Amino acid sequence: MFVDEAIINIEAGAGGDGKVSFLRNRHQPKGGPDGGDGGRGGDILAVVDHNSSTLSAYRIQKAWKGESGVGGGSNRRHGKNGEDIILPVPPGTLIKHGDRLVAELTEAGQTITLARGGRGGLGNSHFATSTRQSPGFAELGEPGEAYELTFELKLIADVGLVGLPNAGKSTLLSVLTSARPKIANYAFTTLRPNLGVAAWHGEEYIIADIPGLIEGAHEGKGLGDAFLKHVERTRVLIILVDVADDVAATYKTLQTELAAYADELGARERLIMLSKVSIADPAHVKKQRSALAKAAKVKVAEVGLLSAQEHVGLDELNGQILELLAQKQITEEAVEDTTTIIDVPMESVLDWYIEPAGDKRWELKGMLAERWAARTNFANDAALERLHMILDRAGIWQRLRKHGAEPGDTIVMNGKELTW
């Protein structure tokens, strides 16, 4: 089954804790602090792999956790950094965090950092001063970033075949390329997009057979709007209308669904083809061609005649496709590349926020509060003393007084408590 969407939970590795250690040897029985720093937690990255074609792996494993950094050692030894986790994704993958687009990955090798590992804590060797020569504390490692992300795969093709179910799309794909899609005389034969490479006079292009649309597809009816996502990633559309249908109503339905999903899709460059003409009466074909041209607001000559099974109209169609793609290439090269690759940003480290949290309780919020709470060992009096000093230098005590706080009140930081 073709999988085009997966929701995963990722958590980068936590940083290793800093070490509390003092130099002790025969020559220095009371040496100074020599605790090393903890290693950084492993990041989680996504990279485009051209050998990958689906997101099915992320349906099976939905949670990914990076390796944590190793704690620091004595003699100022730095802990080992955690190994990164690399998630391979197919070309054409969109990555979203909620409603926000994080990245659009289209080219092999493109890489994005999805979650950054936590920083390792500093060892006690960093905290020796003239007045504190034997610091009995070190920093804890920070937790890694954690997100719920949506991976969404859209096909990337030069040409997309669009039509109602059983309009002849799969047959056309099979005669233009070596692809062998399922073909039968009933609706929704194609349940997943099929790709093929067409070659004509030494030129090649990729063509996608998109499952048939029906009225209301953009609202989830029929096979739903899931496959309209794939149409969005094609450069040129071929609109196939069965000669036996009410061609005006059919074209209106297709155009309405395309435009309802995305305005740009409704205006996408296209070739309009009347299909299965070899099995219809010539007079009926002429009448239907005129009706389709009127509905599409084009000249009659711009509506192509096609019968894929009998190879009628294929040379003309191939020529038109390559000409249109060449024009698109010139236009696209003239436009500045706007491929989206946006790293998930670290939260802004801007300020501390103070909120009442009950009787004589106050909560410090903001990235700085979370970071210092994560680094501090609240069970260590020396570490808490350092945190008090940091809060004092940041002006937090003064700000707390303005909010009505008093010494002895409880301060909450990222779920941890200390007494002012």
Same domain, 171 and 146: no
CATH number at residue 27: 2.70.210.12
Pick from 182, 196, 191: which is nearest to 210 by CA? Answer: 191
The CA distances from residue 77 to 34, 38, 70, 133, in Å, are: 8, 9, 11, 20
Q: Which of 40-49, 208-217, 249-258, 378-387 has the highest mean pLDDT?
A: 40-49
| Rounded CA separation 66/39 (Å) | 13
Give yes or no: residues 324 and 284 share one domain: yes
Q: How much is the pLDDT for 162?
A: 87
User: pLDDT tens for residues 59-91?
Assistant: 889 999 999 999 999 999 999 999 999 999 988
How many percent of the chain have pLDDT more than 90? 41
Q: Choose among 272, 314, 274: nearest CA to 296.
A: 272
Q: For residues 220 and 131, which has the higher predicted lDDT (pLDDT)?
A: 131
- Domain assignment present for 343: no
For residue 376, being part of any structural domain is answered with: yes
Kindly state whether residues 4 and 149 are assigned to the same domain: yes
Sign of CA dihedral 86, 88, 94, 97: negative
Query: What pLDDT, on the 0 to 100 scale, is given for residue 285?
Result: 93
Domain contains 173: yes
pLDDT at 129: 87
Q: Find the helix or strand (DSSP H, E) in which 7 lies.
A: strand 5-11
pLDDT (0 to 100) of residue 3: 43
Strongest mean pLDDT among 99-108, 114-123, 337-346, 391-400 = 114-123
**Which of 300, 334, 368 represents a domain boundary (last residue)?**
334
**Tens-digit pLDDT profile for residues 165-191:** 878 888 888 888 865 544 444 333 444
Mean pLDDT along residues 336-354: 50
| Same domain as 408, residue 364 | yes
Instruction: Give the angle subtended at the CA of 204 by the CAs of 198 and 207, to the nearest 5°.
Output: 45
221 Cβ neighbours under 8 A, 6+ residues apart: 214, 215
Averaged pLDDT of the chain = 83
Mean pLDDT confidence for 104-125: 92
* Residue 276 and residue 380 in one domain: no
Residue 226 has pLDDT above 60, yes or no: no
Asked if residue 5 is part of any domain, the answer here is yes
Please report the pLDDT score of residue 8 as a whole number.
96
Q: Number of structural domains, the chain?
A: 3
> What percentage of residues in the chain have a pLDDT greater than 70?
85
Q: Which domain covers residue 259, as residue numbers?
A: 157-334
Report the C-alpha gap between 362 and 331 in whole angstroms.
59
Tell me how far CA of residue 312 lies from CA of 129, 279, 305, in angstroms. Answer: 88, 11, 8
Residue 339 placed within a domain: no
> Distance between terminal CA atoms of the chain?
59
Q: Residues 138, 174: one domain?
A: no
What's the full length of the chain, in residues? 420
Choose the most confident range, by mean pLDDT, from 72-86, 176-190, 267-281, 322-336: 72-86
CATH number where 204 lies: 3.40.50.300
Residue 216 and residue 311 in one domain? yes
Residue 42 and residue 14: Cα distance in Å, rounded?
8
Write down the pLDDT at residue 55. Answer: 85
Pairing relation of β-strands 234-242 and 353-356?
Answer: unpaired
CA angle, 118 then 79 then 128, to 5°: 90
Sign of CA dihedral 237, 241, 247, 253: negative
Please check whether residues 145 and 178 belong to one and the same domain: no
270 and 136 belong to one structural domain: no
Structural domain contains residue 393: yes
393: number of Cβ within 10 Å:
9
What CATH number is attached to the domain comprising 391?
A: 3.30.300.350
Question: Does a structural domain hold residue 344?
Answer: no
Q: Judging by DSSP bridges, how do beta strands 353-356 and 361-365 pair with one another?
A: antiparallel
- The pTM (predicted TM-score) of the whole model is 0.62
Q: Residue 220 — very low, low, confident or very high, per pLDDT cuts 50/70/90?
A: very low
What is the CB-side half-sphere exposure of residue 75 using CA atoms within 13 A? 3
Burial zone of 105 (CB within 10 Å; 0-12 exposed, 13-18 middle, 19+ buried): buried
Which of 299, 334, 369 is at the close of a domain? Answer: 334
pLDDT digits (tens, 9 = 90+) for 359-404: 889 998 887 888 888 989 999 988 998 888 888 888 888 888 888 8
Residues 142 and 254 in one domain: no
Query: Strand 157-163 and strand 100-105: pairing?
Result: unpaired
120, 153, 186 - which closes a domain? 153
Are 226 and 253 within one domain?
yes
Q: Kindly state whether residues 298 and 403 are assigned to the same domain.
A: no
Question: Predicted confidence band at 116 (pLDDT cuts at 50, 70, 90)?
Answer: very high
Is 186 a domain residue? yes
